[in-house]
Amino acid sequence: MPITDLIIAGIAALGAGFVNAIAGGGTLITFPTLIALGLPPITANITNTIALSPGFLGGTFAQRKDFESQKQRLFKILPVCIAGGIVGGVLLINNSENSFKTLIPYLLLIATFFLAIQVPLKKLISSKSTKETPAFLKNFGMYALLFLASVYGGYFGAGLGVILMAILGLIINETLTKLNVLKQAISFCINCTAAIYFSFTGQVEWTFAFVMIFGSISGGIIGGKLAGKINPEILRWVIVSIGIVLSIYYFLK
């Protein structure tokens, strides 16, 4: 494996960790990079999931004070999310390379769309009426939606955070900060569940994964320190633009 490939993957992960700490959308950088470096699409997706998973723990730790008040709620939700993450991982592993390759432009487009609507969605959630959510949504509806989101998270995962925020904001009457810490914790559990499963499949490029884990954590630290100095809206739309270009490229490829 050429050292230059590892350097490129490390830089991509550094960038992904950086943008995830500020605006989100890091997978739109790392996943196409791994494919460009010659990894088969499914292997690239699996390696990317393992490489970026630690970043969600950092986000949860940063909001640990808010996390304390959400522990009980989180523990009720987690079994469904973990099950969904495993199902998504199993679906990915049992997919053929050609089938997954066909889905790449659609998956990138979905992730780009959710990143594009992130800010208006947050505004909608924060202004949502505090009236009681219907009991149906609080019970079966919430678990069904979270399970489906978790399946997507285990299968591909880009844009998962925005999907989770939409579901949680629709059903749970809480502040945006508390919803965000729930989202971070759930995202971490879904990705870690899928990552643990993937680690036993023999389809992980561990050399890439270890380099990228270091890069993504470093990027997250740098992004956290510079978050107040960089306009997240500009960065978000740069990543959205990259996502649109990549989607078009893979549609035409």
pLDDT tens digits, 162-212: 788 888 877 777 777 777 778 878 888 898 899 999 999 999 999 999 999
Task: Identify the DSSP state of 132.
Answer: P
Token pair 């609080």 is at which residue? 138
pLDDT classification of 51: cutoffs 50, 70, 90: very high
pLDDT bucket at 61, cuts 50 / 70 / 90: low
User: What whole-number distance in Å separates Cα of residue 22 and Cα of residue 233?
Assistant: 9
Question: What are the tens digits of pLDDT across the range 77-116?
Answer: 899 999 999 999 999 999 999 999 999 999 999 888 888 8
Output phi, psi for 131, to 5 deg.
-65, 155
Per-position b or e across 143-180, b if 16+ CB within 10 A of its CB:
bebbbbbbbbbbbbbbbbbbbbbbbbbebbebeeebbb
With contact defined as beta carbons under 8 Å apart, do 66 and 178 qualify? yes
The Cα–Cα gap between 223 and 231 comes to: 12
Percent of the chain scoring above 90 in pLDDT: 38
Sequence-ordered list of residues with C-beta below 8 angstroms from that of 240, at least 6 positions apart, any chain: 25, 112, 115, 116
pLDDT higher than threshold 80 for residue 55: no
pLDDT-based confidence at residue 146 (cuts at 50, 70, 90)? very high
Asked whether 88 and 152 are in contact (CB, 8 A), the reply is yes
End-to-end CA, the chain:
26
> What DSSP character marks residue 230?
S
**Per-residue confidence (pLDDT) for residue 205, from 0 to 100:** 95
Q: Could you please report the per-residue DSSP string of 48-115?
A: HHHHHTHHHHHHHHHTHHHHHTTHHHHHHHHHHHHHHHHHHHHHHHTS-HHHHHHHHHHHHHHHHHHH
Confidence of residue 122 (pLDDT cuts 50, 70, 90): confident
Q: Give the residue, 69 or 29, on which the prediction is more confident.
A: 29
Asked whether 173 and 11 are in contact (CB, 8 A), the reply is no
